[in-house]
Amino acid sequence: MQWNHLENPEEIDVYMRKSYQMPVLFFKHSIRCSISATALNRLERNWVVEADITPVYIDLINFRMVSNHLADRLGVHHESPQAILIENGRVVGSWSHLAISWSSIAAVAIKS
């Protein structure tokens, strides 16, 4: 799995445009939280590259401003950990904590 790291609020527009070509998954991760580490590990272990979803990683400790900007932009209440799937510039799925799983993300991405 190859993460794209989101470290600048202006980069959000790049991924919003990309979502018109393929789904984009934003993953908000707290490096200080064991639940977040578990969710990240499960997602990475089960990720299917062939699904053509762009994975975007946001480090909540070092880039909280970016996470806040994303929450405002997408209209999705911030949680940690959190996975937000967008397609065609709109949110099609949002999961937090241990509800984050490859199967739940893929089920929405494949149907959309």
Lowest mean pLDDT among 36-40, 56-60, 76-80, 82-86: 76-80
Residue with tokens 């959000």: 12
Its domain, for residue 60, covers 4-111
What integer is the mean pLDDT of 97-109? 93
Under the banding of pLDDT at 50, 70 and 90, the label for residue 49 is: confident
Under the banding of pLDDT at 50, 70 and 90, the label for residue 87 is: very high
Domain count, the chain: 1
Query: From CA 29, how far away is CA 22, in angstroms rounded?
Result: 22
Query: From CA 110, how far away is CA 112, in angstroms rounded?
Result: 6
- Specify the CATH number for the domain of residue 73: 3.40.30.10
Tell me the average pLDDT of the chain.
94
pLDDT tens digit sequence for 2-36? 999 999 999 999 999 999 999 999 999 999 999 99
CB atoms within 10 A of CB 66: 22
Q: Kindly report the pTM of this predicted structure.
A: 0.94
Q: Which residues contact 26 (CB under 8 A, 6 or more apart)?
A: 6, 15, 56, 58, 70, 82, 83, 84, 85, 86
Under the banding of pLDDT at 50, 70 and 90, the label for residue 112 is: low
Query: From CA 35, how far away is CA 30, in angstroms rounded?
Result: 9
